[in-house]
Structure 1
């Protein structure tokens, strides 16, 4: 792949994100003109248009950006931690663990989104810890094939348990739950954003100051230890951050796979492995992918009920298969 300059890649990705974000505001079930969108954003449009822009499309746009940023950052952290370009919270079972725990919280008499976020974080963290421990060798390194096998096996197990729980929830929760598990947006409301957005933003603010350590950890545990990094402590912190970001994103957009892996891997192919450049680029690319998939679902698949997660799987699965073929050959 052609290696672009950092400035070209970042500016191009940012421009793509802005264009897709603006298009998502006036494309959908009801098409709006660009001037109508601008008037609505400025508070000068009719109430019906303002309702569409402010209450429907703008929250979905923000959810796409936040979830994309969280999933891309989580995937990048996991790839650095495991030294495996295939690592992703969906492939390694973190999303499935968060989904199972969030669904289990519905059986409590005092369940709510705040409690669901805590359960989702705990479920995602336990899933990540399980994969981490089962895939680690005695020397502290990871075997790529074993990592993928353990992650996919755990994801399958947790997904089966989640589907079993859906059979005993109340009927009025069934349809929304099944759509959410397939990757439908259920956090596209201002009330949901008020709860989950701070958690994602705070996690991102914790990640960015650790970029120098992330760059050192890419060199391997022995080299990182020689350069003064406490590898075990940093690994646990990275694991918890990756699990938290993926879990909060799962509450917003359901069990969405591939987007973080695809964006992170593509960013490193474009600008190299320095997280100072690859991480912001991956965030822009993932947010763009989320917006594109959501817009396609609202524009071309009207009435089908196909969730955004399935659209993303159609986009990301072929790339994943090609990369797996390269890694094994």
Structure 2
């Protein structure tokens, strides 16, 4: 029998098994987050965050995607504990300079500003982790996305993990078989993964992260038509095969780049996913479940919004159990309290 067929058969069963486990894994109970955690201690916190996010997104719509990405990167590294916000110090090596973060994360100043306003109103009460989680929800709403209630009560970690930042986070060039386990490890299902990646409808990508895709199999996945061909040529002009341009950027959804909608999934159907990791959800031979989900969210924006909301709550509830024992409410999101 053909060895390549056996290999595909083996990996297919892995993916199907992961898909099953992802929806059924049980995790030890963590400290309970609640909707009314700040009802008596800082009742205005949600209003403060919303107001500051409104100003931030109005000044630059790209801030919405930046904050959502910050939240995602925080939660995938030892839970949603604000560790992504910590700067390096003599005694602490933060996560910001990890290979997966150093060129892709922005929005730290936005969180700093919100924190300053919250501290002036409710000093020492609201964690940076909660502020980031609330801000991510408001960022999505402000660019047309769905609403969801945000459970709160997180604490800020006094540690960070440079190592986990380099291993836990999906990368743009990864295959579907490699990415799915990273979501399952966090207790997120394949359905959660496909919905959460839909946040790329408002995201930007750097040339260094999509060069291999557009000079690789982009042409073979592309559904040929004048608009798609024009976009393909545009991507190549933004990101030359050689000679630099690593920091040049493009929208991952060029149709509605500043609107949170399901346009991203239509691009995947057309083979126009800018990142290999995105297009794999539709084009990979192993993407039996993910392909159907892409089709579903492309056809039904309400289904996408509903699942995205549920999956964001699920991701936001990934907690760092140690942080509830050793953690604190940071006065400055960039540094542990002294």
If the length of structure 1 is used for normalisation, what is the TM-score? Answer: 0.28
Larger relative CO (CA 8 A, sep 6+): 1 or 2?
Answer: 1
If the length of structure 2 is used for normalisation, what is the TM-score? Answer: 0.28
Which one has a larger percent helix, Structure 1 or Structure 2?
1
